[in-house]
């Protein structure tokens, strides 16, 4: 199992960042390859992804850690992905968003295609970094 952690500092208060993170239907605006996202009942989300020339549909369970500004998620089927977003107030106008992703490299390659080994880890790291930067632009522009 591989673990990736990245963070970005955004120029909005923690409450605003937290609220934006929970608007799953807006994820396609800042997550590369996500063409459809919608909230379903009981803490579930449906995601339509296009990556490596392949289209896939996923279901994920999403939960919040009470009072801690931590959103955890995991896919309910293949590929088995687990992750979280932790928000930490820097000051009253800035928030740090820490993204954590746990994945099995071989499963990611089989599902989405792409490189193997070190090149794959670098590609996933670049993708997560890019998505965080796009979220920063999204939330700071108040979209």
Distance CA 97, CA 114 (A): 27
Pairing assessment for the beta strands 2-10 and 34-40 based on DSSP bridges:
unpaired
Distance CA 86, CA 108 (A): 23
* Residue pLDDT tens, the chain, 143 long: 889 999 999 999 999 999 999 999 999 999 988 999 999 988 999 999 887 777 889 999 999 987 899 999 999 987 888 999 999 999 999 999 999 999 887 777 777 666 565 556 677 788 899 999 999 999 999 75
């Amino acid at each position: 199992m591989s673990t990736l952690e990245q963070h970005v500092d955004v120029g909005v208060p923690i409450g605003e960042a937290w609220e934006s993170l929970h608007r799953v239907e807006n994820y396609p605006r800042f997550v590369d390859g996500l063409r459809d996202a919608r909230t379903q009942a009981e803490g579930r989300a449906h995601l339509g992804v296009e990556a490596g020339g392949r289209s896939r549909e996923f279901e994920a369970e999403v939960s919040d850690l009470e009072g801690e500004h931590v959103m955890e998620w995991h896919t309910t089927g293949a590929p088995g992905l687990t992750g979280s977003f932790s928000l930490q107030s820097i000051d009253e106008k800035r928030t740090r968003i820490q993204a954590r992703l746990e994945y099995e490299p071989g499963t990611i390659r089989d599902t989405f295609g792409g490189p193997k080994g070190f090149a794959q880890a670098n590609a996933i790291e670049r993708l997560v970094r890019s998505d965080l930067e796009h979220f920063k632009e999204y939330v700071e522009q108040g979209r």
